[in-house]
Amino acid sequence: QSVLTQPPSVSGAPGQRVTISCTGSSSNIGARHDVHWYQQLPGTAPKLLIYGNINRPSGVSARFSGSKSGTSASLAITGLQAEDEADYYCQSYDSSLSGSGVFGGGTKLTVL
Protein backbone atom coordinates (compact mmCIF):
# COMPACT_ATOMS: atom_id res chain seq x y z
CA GLN A 1 0.00 0.00 0.00
CA SER A 2 1.02 3.61 -0.51
CA VAL A 3 2.70 5.77 2.13
CA LEU A 4 0.11 8.51 1.54
CA THR A 5 -3.58 7.53 1.74
CA GLN A 6 -6.18 8.79 -0.71
CA PRO A 7 -9.77 7.69 -1.31
CA PRO A 8 -9.91 5.37 -4.33
CA SER A 9 -12.70 7.34 -5.95
CA VAL A 10 -14.79 10.50 -5.74
CA SER A 11 -17.55 11.78 -7.96
CA GLY A 12 -19.58 14.89 -8.58
CA ALA A 13 -21.97 16.47 -11.02
CA PRO A 14 -20.91 19.20 -13.42
CA GLY A 15 -20.62 22.53 -11.64
CA GLN A 16 -20.22 20.96 -8.21
CA ARG A 17 -17.24 21.10 -5.85
CA VAL A 18 -15.31 18.01 -4.82
CA THR A 19 -12.38 17.48 -2.49
CA ILE A 20 -9.75 14.75 -2.45
CA SER A 21 -7.93 14.04 0.79
CA CYS A 22 -4.37 12.86 1.28
CA THR A 23 -3.32 11.54 4.68
CA GLY A 24 0.29 11.00 5.69
CA SER A 25 2.32 10.70 8.86
CA SER A 26 4.91 12.39 11.04
CA SER A 27 7.74 11.53 8.64
CA ASN A 28 6.21 13.15 5.56
CA ILE A 29 3.29 15.62 5.58
CA GLY A 30 3.40 15.94 9.39
CA ALA A 31 7.11 16.76 9.20
CA ARG A 32 6.15 19.90 7.27
CA HIS A 33 7.24 18.54 3.95
CA ASP A 34 5.34 20.08 1.06
CA VAL A 35 2.50 18.30 -0.71
CA HIS A 36 2.09 18.36 -4.47
CA TRP A 37 -0.75 17.19 -6.68
CA TYR A 38 -0.81 15.70 -10.16
CA GLN A 39 -3.58 15.07 -12.65
CA GLN A 40 -3.28 12.05 -14.93
CA LEU A 41 -5.61 11.75 -17.90
CA PRO A 42 -6.04 8.26 -19.35
CA GLY A 43 -3.02 7.08 -21.30
CA THR A 44 -0.93 10.16 -20.56
CA ALA A 45 1.86 11.18 -18.22
CA PRO A 46 0.98 12.96 -14.98
CA LYS A 47 0.74 16.75 -15.03
CA LEU A 48 1.70 18.99 -12.12
CA LEU A 49 -1.44 20.61 -10.75
CA ILE A 50 -0.46 22.06 -7.34
CA TYR A 51 2.99 22.46 -5.82
CA GLY A 52 4.15 23.59 -2.42
CA ASN A 53 0.74 22.78 -0.89
CA ILE A 54 -1.15 25.71 -2.39
CA ASN A 55 0.56 26.96 -5.55
CA ARG A 56 -0.68 26.54 -9.11
CA PRO A 57 1.75 26.36 -12.03
CA SER A 58 1.14 28.80 -14.83
CA GLY A 59 -1.72 27.61 -17.00
CA VAL A 60 -3.54 25.59 -14.36
CA SER A 61 -7.11 26.69 -13.79
CA ALA A 62 -7.99 28.57 -10.61
CA ARG A 63 -10.74 25.98 -10.12
CA PHE A 64 -8.03 23.80 -8.59
CA SER A 65 -6.77 24.63 -5.10
CA GLY A 66 -4.73 22.90 -2.43
CA SER A 67 -4.52 23.05 1.32
CA LYS A 68 -2.59 21.34 4.08
CA SER A 69 -3.04 20.90 7.82
CA GLY A 70 -1.18 18.65 10.20
CA THR A 71 -0.60 15.26 8.62
CA SER A 72 -3.16 15.77 5.83
CA ALA A 73 -3.68 17.73 2.65
CA SER A 74 -6.60 18.28 0.31
CA LEU A 75 -7.22 19.12 -3.30
CA ALA A 76 -10.42 20.99 -4.10
CA ILE A 77 -11.94 21.27 -7.55
CA THR A 78 -14.77 23.74 -8.05
CA GLY A 79 -17.10 24.13 -11.01
CA LEU A 80 -16.57 20.51 -12.08
CA GLN A 81 -16.24 19.95 -15.80
CA ALA A 82 -16.28 16.76 -17.83
CA GLU A 83 -12.63 17.32 -18.74
CA ASP A 84 -11.67 17.04 -15.05
CA GLU A 85 -12.41 13.31 -15.12
CA ALA A 86 -8.99 11.83 -14.39
CA ASP A 87 -6.79 10.23 -11.74
CA TYR A 88 -5.33 12.54 -9.11
CA TYR A 89 -2.22 11.83 -7.05
CA CYS A 90 -0.77 13.56 -4.03
CA GLN A 91 2.97 13.42 -3.46
CA SER A 92 5.42 14.47 -0.78
CA TYR A 93 8.85 13.76 0.65
CA ASP A 94 9.46 11.26 3.42
CA SER A 95 12.44 11.85 5.68
CA SER A 96 12.65 8.26 6.90
CA LEU A 97 14.73 5.63 5.10
CA SER A 98 17.38 8.12 3.90
CA GLY A 99 14.75 10.27 2.23
CA SER A 100 12.44 9.44 -0.64
CA GLY A 101 9.61 10.69 -2.74
CA VAL A 102 6.25 9.21 -1.82
CA PHE A 103 2.92 9.15 -3.63
CA GLY A 104 -0.65 8.55 -2.66
CA GLY A 105 -2.43 5.61 -4.23
CA GLY A 106 -4.43 7.88 -6.50
CA THR A 107 -8.08 8.94 -6.66
CA LYS A 108 -10.29 8.41 -9.67
CA LEU A 109 -12.58 11.42 -10.21
CA THR A 110 -15.79 10.67 -12.07
CA VAL A 111 -17.89 13.54 -13.39
CA LEU A 112 -21.49 12.30 -13.36
Partner 1 sequence: QVQLVQSGAEVMQPGASVKVSCQASGYTFTDYYMHWVRQAPGQGLEWMGWINPNSAGTNYAQKFQGRVTMTRDTSISTAYIELNRLRSDDTAVYYCARDTGSSSGAPLYYFDSWGQGTLVTVSS
Number of residues that bind partner 1 (CB under 8 A): 26
Contact 23, 72 (CB under 8 A): yes
Taking CB under 8 A as the criterion, the residue among 48, 61, 67, 72 binding partner 1 is: 48
For position 7 contacting partner 1 by CB under 8 A, the verdict is no
The residue range among 13-21, 48-56, 66-74, 77-85 that interacts with partner 1, by the rule CB under 8 A, is 48-56
Q: How far is the CB of 40 from partner 1 (least distance, A)?
A: 8
Residues 61-100: x/- map of binding to partner 1 (CB under 8 A)? ----------------------------x-xxx---xxxx
CA angle in degrees (0–180, nearest 5) for 14-7-87: 55
DSSP-H helix ranges across the chain: none
Among residues 112, 99, 95, 104, the alpha carbon closest in space to that of 20 is found at: 104
Complex with partner 1: residue 53 or 77, whichever CB lies closer: 53
CA 32 to chain centre: 16
Q: Which amino acid is residue 102, in one-letter code?
A: V
Contact 6, 20 (CB under 8 A): yes
Binding site for partner 1 (CB under 8 A): 2, 33-34, 36, 38, 45-48, 51-52, 57, 89, 91-93, 97-106
